[in-house]
Structure 1
Amino acid sequence: MRDQSIAVVMSSYNGADYIVEQLDSILAQNISNLSVIVRDDGSNDGTVQILQQYAQRGDIRLICGENEGYVRSFFDVLAVAGDFDYYCFADQDDIWLSDKVSSAISLIQESSTRGPVLYCSELLYCDEHCKNPQRSKLNFIGLNGQKMVYEDICSGNTMVFNREMKELATIGGAKDIFAHDWWFGLVGCSLGTLVWDENPHILYRRTGNNASPSGMSSLRLAKYRVEKIFGNGKLPRIRKQIRRFYSQYCDQLDPQLREIVRVAAEGNRFQKAFAPGRYRQKRGDELLLRLTLLAGLL
């Protein structure tokens, strides 16, 4: 374990309320040879001043940049991080359990897998005070490239990946990528090996607009799912991501998955809506997606 070099990469933006707890939990990991690299994405709330204190103590490497959005910011910090054996994505407002990184590295090494490897794990949702933790109940059974095309299943704050995975997923930069973790999950499930850990090693803080759908009434849950798919102009951006993925990696996909992604990227609305297989985990979400595709909205 000591021979492995590990980089934790974080993009921060106006995270002064919680970033100290996050950084302290990262620095308290029960593993050595851990480097923490933070790119601030133009904060104006005191986050930079907090980060500078950590940098002055030598606890982190700090990069300050202009605001460009979290996707490009994560790609930028990966680009300048340097060569490590493993990389971990970190959000700015969670709390890591002390064995988060060591558990991931152990499972990756136990898998004896060569080539690109992406680790993801179960997590514990909690409130803004990190109280009342509840398992997310993420379902990774049968997860494959097709199921990642239209749904972001892998949570970025649990991700650990090797150098081969980093190099594969960052080809071409951040152009037309909807979310960095969705992209890494799609690339990893399609062209690499996914290592899934059913045990949680992170407290995932849910705040404000980040509130969990857990415990919602049926009506509110239906409204949440509609907004999750249709809200904030997401559909055109998701479409661009699918097309970018197909153009970038089509020659490397196995024939069956290549055809699935081709239809998603280039097919007409009927081909997309009636494509075989299952795309989303929940039946209601699958039906809503199919109707969205049939309407030509995605």
Structure 2
Amino acid sequence: MNKPKVCIMLSTYNGSKYINEQMESLLAQSKVDVQIIIRDDGSSDETVQKLSEYAKSRPDQIRVIEGKNLGVIGSFFELMRQTEPVYDFYAFCDQDDVWNSDKLSRAVTKLQLRQSNVPLMYCSSTQMVDQDLNNLNVWPTLPPKPLSMYNAMVENCCVGCTMVLNPITFERVRRSIPIDLKPIIMHDRWIYLYVSAFGEVIFDEEPMILYRQHQGNVLGGSNEGWLMKWKSRLKRFLSEGSFRLSRQASFFLETYREQLSAQQQRDIQRFLNHLDRSWVKRIRYVSKMPFYRQASLDNLVLKLVYILKKV
């Protein structure tokens, strides 16, 4: 029986310090046939040199694309454009983590158990570690509420470097990648939003990667205490440029209007329209708003910043 063919899409930027550990863990994936497509986002260190050595030793398995600096969102979407839709599954990958050897086979098994003709996405918890791979904590934990469009519009519960997509998801998102990426908060949030609106998100509470936390992380989980976490979250919402949720929601509605159900269209439009209503009507709206975040306190913060017109 042929092994499932999985394409790993890896974006790198000045990641030479940890890239060897990551690459070795990708090449050690069990029970799947792995193809690795790497786009370097304009590194100035030895990242490309190290990757080129891997590509030379495995020319049929590893492809390296040297690109100009586009930033993390642009680089991952460009990777999708450069990847042919010929594989059984597609996985995103960061440059400084370490994957469990059964990460992809476990994801593939769970995806194969679902209906194959709808958009599907697998994601998992991560074992957060320090720079030397010492365990910190598991994040994120299993979300208590459904992973629906009504959650994805206002929160991302899926870590991009754990995502594995079925062909329908990959091909449809790839076909509709926007030219203007400014309204998109992050590539993984956009894909989570897409799949939650039109298909099914599978969350695996078993950590499948060692998710390295260090000063160079662009994004990642946090070990802050709960009070500091919510203070920083509220501060981020209220800071300049915090209107990202409504901007992305408007862009999502514009991009996929014809595919969204009538109810989905109405609910997104109401979310946007009530931001321009009086504060009394905004309070009334949030009391019955269908959009939600997973944690109760986080949900209260969402309602507060909505009333303040800062989403």
Structure 2 length as normaliser, TM-score? 0.87
Whether 2:237 is the aligned partner of 1:229: answer: yes
**Residues 120, 195 of structure 1: 8 Å contact kept:** yes
Change (3 A) 1:154 1:217: closer
Equivalences, count = 296
Residue 148 of structure 2 is matched in structure 1 by 144
Deviation track 1:235-279 (CA, whole Å, cap 9, x = no partner) reads: 244333211111111222233322222223444345666242341
Q: How far, CA to CA, are the matches of 2:45 and 2:276 in structure 1?
A: 45
Residue 79 of structure 2 is matched in structure 1 by 77
- RMSD of aligned residue pairs (Cα, Å): 2.1
Matches within 5 A, 1:81-230: 81-83=83-85, 84-136=87-139, 137-139=141-143, 141-174=145-178, 175=180, 176-208=183-215, 210=219, 212-214=221-223, 216-230=224-238
**Residues 113, 193 of structure 1: 8 Å contact kept:** no
Three-state SS of the structure 2 residue aligned to 1:242 is: helix
**Residues 243, 266 of structure 1: 8 Å contact kept:** no
Report the alpha carbon displacement of residue 33 of structure 1 after superposing the two structures with TM.
2.0
Q: How far, CA to CA, are the matches of 2:49 and 2:22 in structure 1?
A: 16
Q: How far, CA to CA, are the matches of 2:2 and 2:268 in structure 1?
A: 40
Q: How far, CA to CA, are the matches of 2:228 and 2:260 in structure 1?
A: 39
Report the alpha carbon displacement of residue 133 of structure 1 after superposing the two structures with TM.
4.2
Change (3 A) 1:140 1:162: farther
Q: How far, CA to CA, are the matches of 1:272 and 1:96 in structure 2?
A: 45
Q: How far, CA to CA, are the matches of 1:43 and 1:272 in structure 2?
A: 46
Report the alpha carbon displacement of residue 122 of structure 1 after superposing the two structures with TM.
1.9
Change (3 A) 1:24 1:171: same
Change (3 A) 1:51 1:286: same
Report the alpha carbon displacement of residue 286 of structure 1 after superposing the two structures with TM.
1.6
Per mean C-alpha deviation after superposition, the further-off stretch among 165-174 and 76-85 is 165-174
Structure 1 length as normaliser, TM-score? 0.91
Q: Quick one: which of 276, 292, 296 aligns to 2:305?
A: 292
Unaligned 5+ residue runs, structure 1? none
Change (3 A) 1:212 1:75: closer
Q: How far, CA to CA, are the matches of 2:220 and 2:90 in structure 1?
A: 27
Matches within 5 A, 1:48-63: 48-58=48-58, 59-63=61-65
Q: How far, CA to CA, are the matches of 1:36 and 1:78 in structure 2?
A: 12
**Residues 117, 188 of structure 1: 8 Å contact kept:** yes
Unaligned 5+ residue runs, structure 2? none
